A = this chain, B = another copy of it.
Amino acid sequence: GYGRFGLEYVEDRGVGLEDTQIASRLRLNIDATTETDVGVTFGARLRFQNSDSAGETTGNQARFSVGYEGLNVQVGNVDTPWDSVGLTYDSEMGFQDSSFGDAQAPFFAYNSTGDAALDGYTGIAATYSISGVNLYFAYVDPDQTIDNPLGFEEEISIAADWTNGQISVAAAILKDGAGIADNDQFFLGGAYSFGDAKVGLNYYDYDLADSNQVTLYGNYAFGATTLRAYVSEMDIPGVDTDTAYGIGADYSLGEGARLSGSIQSGFAGENVADVGVRFDF
């Protein structure tokens, strides 16, 4: 898991709310595995996560997995292709790893915190890795226990990513994202590394609003420091949006710890900033 804490500024956060707060997260993964005689690995994960001065911590829904060579099948609180595919989060920055350049339409992902409202949520997912290519598939039922879960649909998604030396590409298709009918989405991303620098472009197509999003990002490392920047354009018919952008920097403290900060601006021109530390354990 990891820990992170620092200052987070959100312009006009809300009526009566402090714009500047201490943001924090402690994420503890409990992984239990056993490997059978023929090399099949069974595993289960439970996560305890406490964020932003929440007063209590409950465990989430369990995820079960079976792995054999490059194939991994998950059941329960599964990782989804839209959330797992390469490149999609590569414009993130700051100690909270956030970006307006991330996909902006709803989708299902591994649920990190316990929530009784998720009772019945059940996914089946598979990943297959071979020769630098990763393939992802998932089927998620918002509530497997009942015939007609309140008009919600099952979400289906597939994805693939590939890295070969300096070039990385990734693509994903999402059908009925977050169980919302016709919330179909498409993602295509590419990145190129040269020396200490990397640039990438992510494209998202959202069927529901007939909109799309393009995020261009880059980073440059020198010594322990990494500079990061991105711009993201959202094109929604009949809606006027600002260009979102962000600049940030990481300073590596070694052993998986880093000091990170960012200044970002969203599609409505809202400004946010953060500075803090993150450490893995």
Contact = CB atoms under 8 A, between A and B. Distances in A.
A33 B281 contact: yes
A162 interface: no
A115 interface: yes
A75 B5 contact: yes
Given A26-B46, A55-B114, A17 B64 contact: no
Interface in A106-121: 111, 113-121
B42 A257 contact: yes
Contacts of A55: 60-61, 111, 114-121
A147 interface: yes
Contacts of A118: 55-56
Nearest to A113: B56
Number of copies of chain A assembled together: 3
B36 A255 contact: yes
Contacts of A280: 34
Contacts of A145: 17-18, 21, 53
Nearest to A279: B42
Contacts of A61: 50, 53-57
Interface string A2-24: 01010000000000111001101
A117 B58 CA distance: 15
A206 to B, nearest CB: 27
A40 B253 CA distance: 9
B37 A254 contact: yes
A26 B44 contact: yes
A268 interface: no
B24 A75 contact: yes
A253 B38 contact: yes
A37 B256 CA distance: 10
Interface of A: 1, 3, 5, 16-18, 21-22, 24-26, 28, 30, 32-38, 40, 42-44, 46, 48, 50, 53-62, 64, 66, 75-76, 111, 113-122, 124, 144-148, 253-257, 277, 279-281
19 contacts: A3-B43, A17-B146, A18-B145, A18-B147, A22-B124, A26-B62, A34-B257, A37-B255, A42-B257, A44-B281, A46-B50, A50-B61, A54-B116, A55-B114, A55-B118, A55-B121, A56-B58, A56-B59, A66-B277
